[in-house]
């Protein structure tokens, strides 16, 4: 089900036309569909209903407090990677019993906060992190639950910059180190080794790498004979960004996990980000200029890489949608670019597009994940507003940063 789409040639977010929104809100802004978010969460939940996983939404994909509160209402937990994300997740009302803390560089302050909040699992990524947690737990005389992140040496056939599962990457412990650290932890009386976690990367659209991961985990379990209370399979489930690119077959993945979990009494944890929020937003932006140069038509937008970095950072493609689709076409070499002073500040090249002119608006699709959360003040531009649509209602869920706030530090 798609809640953000062209209806009778008008771009709509649920029951509201984007044209109505641009009359009310200043561009650029992110616009979310709450129904899409709910739909995605429920699809995920029901596809894995046999294993009844703990779903820990990856806060780094989108950290908007209102959206986190909505996810909490649906029953979501959180996967956090910093003290800021941890505090935001708890502020959104997410129970610490449903929070896992990942990341290779947790500081002592972050670890202490995670312990104080009594999170479900701290997923450690190095032996020295284990030692630090052990030291802290001795001081406070409390047993701490930890998981270890495995580096399974499997890459997800995704963009190199979002692949985390290869042995040359900084993440997790490779097979032999994992086994050795398990042995050490068992001798530490202040630590409870409860989890095995893994996350091989993002935007994985083929089920095969996940299948390989499950078999490596089985190997580890056979070798260590540890009955992990939690097996945290991470996130990474890919979505469709273009007609050519299919989303991950989640049902197939669920079948693999069902088979994997049979005869084990572990609880499955997932940490999806993109799958839950990715297609639930569109970035609405205005065409400032159309500049002809060297056989090209540069369509200069008021949104740039500071608002949506994925294209510059990962060569990611986001479909561009007109607010009003016309039968008449604008033909030629069209290049959609932002206003930022960087040549990588461009979104898309097209051979034809709906008839557009300066002052018109377009939307960049599927920007819910790693859109706003990756945005910055580069070029001293304010962070932009986030709007949420629910049926026929719409409201601001993050204000555009004021110029005063922007220039005062
Ligand atoms: C980024 C990340 C996720 C979420 O990845 P998606 O591709 O958005 O599902 C989950 N777990 C960890 C440890 C991560 O770093």
- Torsion on CA atoms 80, 112, 144, 273, rounded to nearest 10: 0
For tokens 């008021």, name the residue. Answer: 302
Q: Among the options 12, 56, 182, 341, which is catalytic? A: 341
Rounded to an integer, what distance in angstroms lies between the CA atom of residue 153 and that of residue 169? 9
Ligand 1 centroid from CA 141, angstroms = 32
Confidence label for 49 from pLDDT (cuts 50, 70 and 90): very high
Q: What is the 3-state secondary structure (H, E, C) of 17-68?
A: EHHHHHHHCCCCEEEEEHHHHHHHHHHHHHHCCCCCCEEEEEHHHCCCHHHH
> What is the separation of C-alpha 240 from the centre of its chain, rounded to a whole number of angstroms?
14
**In the sheet that 16-17 helps form, which strands lie side by side, from edge to edge?**
4-7, 10-13, 16-17
Ligand 1 centroid from CA 201, angstroms = 7
Number of compact structural domains in the chain: 2
* Per-residue pLDDT reduced to its tens digit, 113-122: 999 999 999 9
Pocket test for ligand 1, best of 100, 120, 235 (most atoms within 8 A of CB): 235
* Contact assessment for residue 379 and residue 307, using Cβ atoms and an 8 Å cutoff: no
**Minimum mean pLDDT range among 151-160, 176-185, 367-376:** 151-160
Q: CB of 106 closer than 6 A to ligand 1? A: no
Q: Domain check: are 175 and 247 in the same one?
A: yes
Ligand 1 centroid from CA 200, angstroms = 9
**Model pLDDT, residue 45:** 98
**Model pLDDT, residue 155:** 78
Percent of the chain predicted with pLDDT > 70: 99
Q: Domain check: are 295 and 187 in the same one?
A: no
Q: Domain check: are 255 and 286 in the same one?
A: no
Domain extent for 237: 35-276
| pLDDT exceeds cutoff 80 at 157 | no
| pLDDT exceeds cutoff 80 at 137 | yes
Q: What is the atom index within ligand 1 of the atom nearest the CA of 201?
A: 7
**Model pLDDT, residue 39:** 98
Ligand 1 centroid from CA 230, angstroms = 17
Q: What is the atom index within ligand 1 of the atom nearest the CA of 61?
A: 8
Q: CB of 102 closer than 6 A to ligand 1? A: yes
Q: What is the CATH number of the domain that holds 300?
A: 2.40.37.10
* Contact assessment for residue 368 and residue 32, using Cβ atoms and an 8 Å cutoff: yes
Q: CB of 47 closer than 6 A to ligand 1? A: no
* Contact assessment for residue 28 and residue 339, using Cβ atoms and an 8 Å cutoff: no
Q: Domain check: are 256 and 383 in the same one?
A: no
Q: Domain check: are 28 and 39 in the same one?
A: no
Q: What is the atom index within ligand 1 of the atom nearest the CA of 123?
A: 13
Consecutive H or E run containing 173? strand 173-174
Q: Domain check: are 139 and 14 in the same one?
A: no
Q: What is the CATH number of the domain that holds 100?
A: 3.20.20.10
Rounded to an integer, what distance in angstroms lies between the CA atom of residue 135 and that of residue 155? 34
* Per-residue pLDDT reduced to its tens digit, 222-242: 999 999 999 999 999 999 999
Q: Domain check: are 139 and 25 in the same one?
A: no
Q: CB of 236 closer than 6 A to ligand 1? A: yes
Rounded to an integer, what distance in angstroms lies between the CA atom of residue 258 and that of residue 267? 12
Pocket test for ligand 1, best of 273, 277, 278, 373 (most atoms within 8 A of CB): 273
**Model pLDDT, residue 36:** 98
Ligand 1 centroid from CA 202, angstroms = 6
| pLDDT exceeds cutoff 80 at 161 | no
Give mean pLDDT, residues 343-358: 97
Is 56 tagged catalytic? no
Q: Domain check: are 297 and 335 in the same one?
A: yes
The domain boundary, picked from 276, 300, 334, lies at 276
Strand partners, 286: 361
DSSP 8-state symbol, 307? T
* Per-residue pLDDT reduced to its tens digit, 85-105: 999 999 999 999 999 999 999
The domain boundary, picked from 245, 276, 307, lies at 276
Percent of the chain predicted with pLDDT > 90: 94
Q: CB of 369 closer than 6 A to ligand 1? A: yes
Q: CB of 134 closer than 6 A to ligand 1? A: no
| pLDDT exceeds cutoff 90 at 130 | yes
* Per-residue pLDDT reduced to its tens digit, 196-222: 999 999 999 999 999 999 999 999 999
Pocket test for ligand 1, best of 48, 53, 60 (most atoms within 8 A of CB): 60
């Amino acid at each position: 089900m798609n809640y953000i789409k062209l209806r009778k040639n008008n771009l709509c977010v649920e029951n509201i036309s984007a044209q109505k929104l641009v009359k009310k809100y200043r561009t650029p802004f992110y616009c979310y569909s709450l129904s899409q978010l709910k739909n995605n969460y429920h699809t995920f939940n029901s596809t894995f209903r046999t294993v009844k996983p703990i779903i820990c939404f990856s806060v780094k994909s989108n950290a908007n407090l209102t959206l986190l509160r909505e996810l909490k209402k649906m029953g979501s937990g959180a996967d956090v990677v910093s003290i800021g994300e941890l505090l935001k997740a708890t502020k959104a009302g997410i129970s610490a019993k449903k929070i896992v803390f990942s990341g290779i560089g947790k500081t002592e302050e972050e670890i202490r906060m995670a312990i104080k909040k009594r999170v479900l699992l701290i997923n450690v990524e190095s032996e020295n992190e284990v030692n630090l947690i052990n030291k802290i737990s001795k001081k406070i005389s409390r047993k701490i639950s930890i998981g270890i992140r495995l580096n399974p040496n499997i890459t997800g056939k995704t963009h190199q910059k979002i692949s985390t599962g290869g042995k040359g990457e900084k993440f997790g412990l490779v097979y032999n180190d994992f086994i050795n650290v398990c042995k050490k932890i068992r001798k530490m009386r202040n630590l409870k080794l409860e989890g095995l976690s893994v996350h091989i990367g993002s935007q994985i659209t083929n089920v095969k790498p996940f299948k390989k991961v499950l078999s490596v985990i089985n190997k580890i379990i056979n070798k260590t004979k540890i009955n992990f209370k939690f097996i945290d399979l991470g996130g990474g489930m890919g979505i469709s960004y273009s007609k050519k690119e299919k989303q991950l077959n989640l049902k197939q993945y669920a079948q693999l996990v069902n088979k994997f979990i049979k005869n084990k009494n572990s609880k499955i944890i997932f940490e999806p980000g993109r799958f839950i929020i990715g297609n639930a937003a569109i970035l609405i932006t205005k065409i400032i200029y159309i500049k002809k140069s060297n056989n090209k038509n540069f369509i200069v937008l008021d949104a740039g890489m500071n608002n949506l970095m994925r294209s510059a950072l990962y060569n990611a493609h986001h479909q561009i949608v007109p607010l009003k689709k016309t039968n008449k076409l604008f033909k030629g070499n069209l290049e959609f670019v932002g206003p930022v002073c960087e040549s990588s500040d461009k979104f898309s090249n097209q051979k034809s597009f709906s008839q557009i002119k300066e002052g018109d608006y377009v939307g960049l699709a599927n920007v819910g994940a790693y859109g706003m959360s990756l945005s910055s003040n580069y070029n001293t531009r304010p962070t932009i507003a986030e709007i949420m649509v629910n049926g026929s209602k719409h409201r601001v869920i993050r204000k555009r940063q004021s110029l005063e706030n922007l220039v005062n530090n």
